[in-house]
């Protein structure tokens, strides 16, 4: 009996020692770090969304990790922003000490191209072949010149095919419709004008934007940011022979001030109460005074549905309380079904603009037309616009609104 008890105690002690030794010798699974992923992707910063690390019993590998992550790339000096989301399965190689990629899945790619509409560009060294694809035989043989490109106001979405066989770790391809540009060749024999449609293209981890331009003469791929450079609108107008009127405002040359609001929720959307049927409260706005300004024009557009005006007024102060404007003739809150993005511009003016009225809750001119309009003061002088600030956010209607007005 005594020997039996001793045996049980010895076995228990042995098992406890073995468990303790195992616990001491076991190490947590290593994970594929954000720094290593960033180096592999060729980007500065990667944000890890989740890790799923584990020890593996393999002759060549010691650890594995399924990691979900995303990163953002500023393109063309901040003109565009690209967000890429991926999921990879990696294993730590015992011999090299490096992580080997077993599988890689592109789960999302989004490009904020809202600054492209209305932007101007030039290409000074287009090859003969590319000129021929853009203008056909209109350009005299042997003539060289500069190609000027202007994106029209309407912009189509970049639709990424995540399973496109052409996609690589550092380049992703998309298609688009509804994106059109005006192209002008300026050479010694004169100007040649044409139009092109952007049918697709690609974006890269190094910040490249490649666009496929289709004309009646053919299709050509141009690299925007390297081969084609952004220019100010005034340079485009002067080079292509457009009228440079004194009343026209070149927004890309104006100072931009910070516009703040407390009417955007933590989820990044405008407050529900800003909607037409939820209170119709105009958003709260504040900004620092602009030197020389005595008036400020407030303009809000639905930029998802082009040229639809929701707010227009002139004020003489730099802080507006939430709900300060509830008259639908001045402010009509968001109401279209679904999610739309609403952008507010505050335009600093030397004095009151010339008299006029705008159809709030109706189709109107684009934001450029408003800048041009308020640039003429009530006394008829031009040069009334000093600076501007802007802010935008989406709004999702909580119900379908029909039959209004």
Which helix (H) or strand (E) covers residue 21, if one does?
helix 2-25
Beta bridge partners of 200: 175, 212
| Residues whose CB falls within 8 Å of the CB of residue 193, separated by 6 or more in sequence, listed in order | 182, 183, 184, 185, 240
**How many other CB atoms are found less than 10 A from the CB of residue 173?**
20
Task: Return mean pLDDT, the chain.
Answer: 89
Looking at residue 6, its pLDDT comes to 53
Looking at residue 184, its pLDDT comes to 97
What whole-number distance in Å separates Cα of residue 48 and Cα of residue 85? Answer: 10
Per-residue pLDDT of 242-275, as tens digits, reads: 888 778 899 888 999 999 999 999 999 999 999 9
| Residues whose CB falls within 8 Å of the CB of residue 250, separated by 6 or more in sequence, listed in order | 232, 233, 234
pLDDT bin (cut points 50, 70, 90) of residue 10 is low
What whole-number distance in Å separates Cα of residue 191 and Cα of residue 184? Answer: 7
pLDDT bin (cut points 50, 70, 90) of residue 399 is low
DSSP assignment of 126-164:
--HHHHHHHHTT-SPTT--EEEEEEE-S-----EE-TT-
Residue bearing the bigger pLDDT, 300 or 19? 300
May I ask the CATH architecture of the domain 252-396? Alpha-Beta Complex (3.90)
Per-residue pLDDT of 288-346, as tens digits, reads: 999 999 999 999 999 887 678 999 999 999 999 999 998 889 999 999 888 899 999 99
Looking at residue 141, its pLDDT comes to 86
Please check whether residue 404 is in contact with residue 275, taking contact to mean a CB–CB distance below 8 angstroms.
no
Q: State the pTM of this model.
A: 0.71
Edge-first strand order for the sheet with 308-315 is 362-363, 308-315, 295-302, 339-349, 385-396
Per-residue pLDDT of 115-126, as tens digits, reads: 898 899 999 989
Please check whether residue 95 is in contact with residue 59, taking contact to mean a CB–CB distance below 8 angstroms.
no
**Overall average pLDDT of the 127-153 stretch:** 92
**Overall average pLDDT of the 69-97 stretch:** 94
> Does 11 have pLDDT greater than 60?
no
**CATH 3.90.280.10 segments of the chain:** 252-396
Per-residue pLDDT of 155-181, as tens digits, reads: 788 999 999 999 999 999 999 988 999
Please check whether residue 131 is in contact with residue 147, taking contact to mean a CB–CB distance below 8 angstroms.
yes
Looking at residue 2, its pLDDT comes to 45
């Amino acid at each position: 009996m005594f020997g039996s008890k001793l045996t049980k105690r010895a076995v228990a002690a042995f098992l406890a020692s073995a468990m303790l030794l195992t616990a001491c010798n076991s190490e947590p699974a290593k994970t594929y770090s954000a720094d290593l992923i960033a180096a592999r992707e060729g980007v500065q910063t990667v944000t890890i969304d989740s890790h799923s690390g584990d020890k593996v019993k393999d002759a060549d590998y010691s650890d594995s990790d399924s990691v979900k992550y995303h990163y953002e790339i500023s393109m063309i000096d901040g003109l565009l922003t690209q967000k890429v989301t991926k999921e990879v399965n990696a294993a730590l190689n015992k011999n090299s000490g490096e992580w080997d990629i077993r599988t890689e899945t592109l789960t999302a790619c989004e490009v904020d191209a809202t600054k492209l509409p209305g932007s101007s560009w030039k290409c000074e060294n287009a090859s003969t072949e590319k000129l021929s694809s853009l203008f056909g035989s209109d350009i005299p043989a042997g003539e060289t010149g500069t190609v000027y490109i202007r994106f029209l106001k309407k912009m189509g979405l970049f639709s990424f095919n995540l399973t496109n066989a052409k996609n690589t770790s550092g380049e992703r391809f998309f298609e688009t419709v509804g994106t059109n540009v005006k192209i002008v060749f300026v050479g010694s024999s004169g100007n040649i004008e044409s139009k092109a449609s952007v049918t697709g293209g690609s974006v890269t981890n190094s910040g490249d934007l490649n666009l496929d331009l289709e004309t009646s003469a053919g299709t050509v791929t141009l690299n925007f940011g390297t081969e084609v450079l952004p220019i100010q609108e005034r340079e485009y107008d002067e080079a292509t022979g457009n009228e440079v009127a004194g009343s026209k405002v070149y927004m890309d040359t104006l100072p931009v001030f910070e516009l703040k609001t407390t009417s955007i929720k933590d989820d990044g959307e405008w407050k529900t109460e800003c909607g037409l049927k939820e209170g119709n409260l105009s958003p709260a706005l504040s900004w620092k005074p602009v030197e020389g300004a005595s008036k400020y024009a407030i303009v809000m557009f639905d930029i998802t549905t082009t040229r639809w005006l929701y707010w227009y007024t002139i004020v003489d102060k730099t802080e507006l309380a939430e709900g300060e404007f509830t008259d639908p003739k001045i402010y009509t809150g968001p109401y279209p079904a679904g999610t739309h993005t609403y952008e507010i511009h505050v335009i600093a003016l030397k004095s009151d603009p010339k008299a006029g009225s705008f159809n709030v809750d109706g189709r109107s001119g684009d934001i450029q037309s408003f800048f041009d309009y308020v640039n003429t003061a009530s006394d008829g002088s031009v040069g009334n616009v000093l600076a501007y600030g802007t802010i935008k956010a989406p709004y999702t209607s909580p119900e379908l609104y029909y039959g209004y007005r």
